Chain A
Amino acid sequence: MKLFGNKENREEGKNGKASGLIERLKQGLSKTRSGLAGKLDQLVFGKKQIDDAILDELEEILFTADLGVRTTQELIDLVQSAVARKELNHPEKLKDILKENMRSFLHLPRIEHQRPKPGEPLIIMVIGVNGVGKTTTIGKAAHRFRNEGKKVMLIAADTFRAAAVEQLTIWGERVGAEVIKQDTGADPSAVVFDGISAALSRKADVVIIDTAGRLHTKVNLMEELEKVRRVVNGRLDGAPHEIWLILDATTGQNAISQAELFHKALGVTDIVLTKLDGTAKGGIVVGLCHQLGLPVRFIGIGEKMDDLRSFDAQEFVNAIFD
């Protein structure tokens, strides 16, 4: 399965983490997957009609992939009405119809971003709750931009968490991006203001802002983030051009609340779904994208700099049924 990348692309970790792991991952995954999906195939095999046993099994697959009550019901209703309209008279077509619907939920046009004016850098702000993978995603994204020959600068606006600045600095060194920083405890807005000024004078092509993780329910911290955004905008008209919300694929239904509140406060332009190299399927994004109209742009499939991939709805949906 492509989602998990191929070995050639991966650099060998100093701890040997990469070697053979992906192969094992795949095996591990196909085992868990064939458990549920395999049962569905057995149920469907040779049947002329879609019965309750099939629907139950389907429900289990969708719930277990974190699609949630609302989206699962929506999808099952779609199946049932297709059956009623006799469009779906063959159980074998069941998976195709479902996949088709899920893909349409996920297939969203990219939000029209404001593009940077000629000569100005693209400014991306990265937000999300604690520990979802913001800093790591920034490292990987910076690597991607560097591969396109861009001059990348990173702004360390997580001035709260211990050693967050150091973490970003190491990533900057790894991928060849300058990191603009102040001391832990500094005002993130001030860091961002100075950072953008530096990026402008040094003619960066891309600027990525790392922010401190925060729970979306903390009003004061969300206000702080809005302020950072305002300061960015005040320093450079039209910026930030993109706001990436990082979601962790292991998160359950709370991801909806996260997306809603971050989107309401800041206007998210893209979702990045991390940690898809585990056994969690991240199905929460199906309903979430559909409801909020936010597209998934990248997926994270590991901790190395090459482990950021463009999101492919077809692959993603296949993985839920694989």
Chain B
Amino acid sequence: MFESLSEKLNTTFKKLTGRGRLSEENIGEALKEVRLALLEADVNYRIVKKLIEEIRRRAVGVDVLESLTPGQQVIKIVNEELTRLMGETRADLQLVGKTPFVLMLVGLQGSGKTTTAGKLAQHLQGQGRSPYLVPADIYRPAAIEQLKKLGIQLDVPVYPGDSQTKPEAICRDALSRAGSVGADVLILDTAGRLHIDDALMSELERIKEQTNPTEILLVADAMTGQDAVNMAEQFNRRLDITGIILSKMEGDARGGAALSIKEVTGKPIKFVGVGEKLDAIEPFFPDRMASRILGMGDVVSLIEKAQQEFDEKEAVKLEKRLRKREFNLEDFQTHLKQMKKLGSLEQIVGMLPGIGQFKQLKKLKPDEKGLIRIEAIINSMTVQERQNHKILNASRRKRIARGSGSNVQDVNRLLKNFIQTKKIVENLARKGYQNMPSIFH
């Protein structure tokens, strides 16, 4: 998500190493680059200004630690500032008190509310709740139809609304029917609207007044630019939102809007959307995100995700091997299989530490078909060959190609990919698993 900013900051920090203690001057130089990197990442101009001043103040003052290199020192301060801005602790939905709960989704046009409504419904289902989807967008053509289809897909009831009824009436009536459909959480999918559209903003106020939502969640596009502050400020001013969901985070947006929105509303980011499928929603971890902005990746989040879907034993084995810095074709195969379960490679890559330094990995994007071919090739290898790729001479490669119904170029390409991945993974293992945590202790 934040790769590009990570890359930028990494370069800055490389320049800072080995220069002795921080001086006013080299802070100034580094801060100039941090500033441009943040602006490039779409963090709002005013917020960047504030942030840079804060970092400058802290860096030059008493906070300087003797045990760190200058580069680490700046990383630490920038990281702390970013973490502080993004909310320090992980915030979840607050579903306490009397049921039915009401979750109200609001935001600009096209920010991803309807898809997010479906994702939240699935997420809540997974937690043993009974969601009820409420289509309150009577304006966009086929918006109600879209939510109904998601409901069918998820087997979640959808309020039978129509575009002739006022949104506040739809929501009110849905609330009164919740009991009869056995629902304990309502998810209100409101129409996208401009924050300066007074009539439509009042409509949201009326819905709020009449349904008394447990959560009002602002759904914002992670690719939003400088205007994020105006939008967020208005929605928060009119509705006193309780949290934020960032959508479309799986792309290459630098995501500075996350900082901007958090800063102007003071409300926590609760989830991020990472794809179009209904399971593509993840909790937002501010502290990890800050490390990620700094290019230190997110080892913890990777391991967590892995634990859900990996065969645990496999994961442990893989981790052990990684620690010993061994990675053979068998591991590669397991890794590819798990990758299919885990989701897109980009998603995984984004969670690895120091990703900014591993651009090569981004290019290794086998598609589904490619994966099948790769598996076939590895399956045609002997155990010995899988454990030691170095013995794969020309005649062995020819045999493998024939056995897997591919050609020698395919085998060579796979080996090249494997060797590249091996290098990266072993490097990550060294840097990520061993060195990374020690930076701050």
User: Given A17-B200, A69-B39, are A131 and B111 also a contact pair (CB < 8 Å)?
Assistant: yes
The complex places the Cα of A65 from the Cα of B112 at a distance, in Å, of 23
Q: In the complex the two chains form, is B225's CB within 8 Å of A130's CB? A: no
Q: In the complex the two chains form, is A278's CB within 8 Å of B39's CB? A: no
- Residue in A closest to B152 when the chains form the complex, CB atoms: A162
7 interchain residue pairs of minimum CB distance = A252-B225, A131-B110, A252-B42, A280-B227, A170-B141, A163-B146, A166-B142
Q: In the complex the two chains form, is B112's CB within 8 Å of A278's CB? A: no
B180-188, B189-197, B311-319: which one contacts chain A?
Answer: B189-197
Contact of B225 among A133, A217, A250 (CB under 8 A): A250
The complex places the Cα of A239 from the Cα of B231 at a distance, in Å, of 40
Which A residues lie within 8 Å of B251 (CB)?
129, 215-217, 254
A20-28, A79-87, A109-117, A118-126: which one contacts chain B?
Answer: A20-28
Listed A/B pairs (11) with beta-carbon separation below 8 Å: A15-B139, A21-B198, A25-B197, A60-B45, A66-B42, A68-B40, A69-B39, A166-B141, A217-B346, A250-B221, A275-B110
Which A residues lie within 8 Å of B252 (CB)?
216-217, 254, 257
Which B residues lie within 8 Å of A216 (CB)?
251-252
Verify if B176 is at the interface (C-beta below 8 Å from A).
no
Which A residues lie within 8 Å of B231 (CB)?
250, 278-279
A227-276 residues at the B interface, CB under 8 angstroms: 248, 250-255, 257, 275
A60-90 residues at the B interface, CB under 8 angstroms: 60, 63-66, 68-69
**Contact-size category for B:** 35 or more
B286 to chain A, nearest CB (A): 20
What 1/0 flags go to B123-163 for Cβ under 8 Å of A? 00000000000000011111101111110010000000000
Q: In the complex the two chains form, is B199's CB within 8 Å of A252's CB? A: no
Q: In the complex the two chains form, is A253's CB within 8 Å of B108's CB? A: no
Which B residues lie within 8 Å of A16 (CB)?
199
A261 to chain B, nearest CB (A): 9
Which B residues lie within 8 Å of A275 (CB)?
108-110, 194
Q: In the complex the two chains form, is A252's CB within 8 Å of B257's CB? A: yes
Which A residues lie within 8 Å of B196 (CB)?
24-25, 28-29, 278-279
A179 to chain B, nearest CB (A): 12
User: Given A60-B45, A251-B223, A278-B108, are A162 and B367 also a contact pair (CB < 8 Å)?
Assistant: no
Q: In the complex the two chains form, is A64's CB within 8 Å of B45's CB? A: yes
Verify if A147 is at the interface (C-beta below 8 Å from B).
no
User: Given A131-B112, A254-B253, A280-B227, are A21 and B199 also a contact pair (CB < 8 Å)?
Assistant: yes
Verify if A150 is at the interface (C-beta below 8 Å from B).
no
A165 to chain B, nearest CB (A): 8
Which A residues lie within 8 Å of B36 (CB)?
69
Q: In the complex the two chains form, is B41's CB within 8 Å of A253's CB? A: yes
Which B residues lie within 8 Å of A66 (CB)?
42, 225-227
- Residue in B closest to A253 when the chains form the complex, CB atoms: B42
Contact of B367 among A28, A32, A219, A252 (CB under 8 A): A219
Verify if A7 is at the interface (C-beta below 8 Å from B).
no
Q: In the complex the two chains form, is B226's CB within 8 Å of A252's CB? A: yes
Verify if B57 is at the interface (C-beta below 8 Å from A).
no
B201 to chain A, nearest CB (A): 11
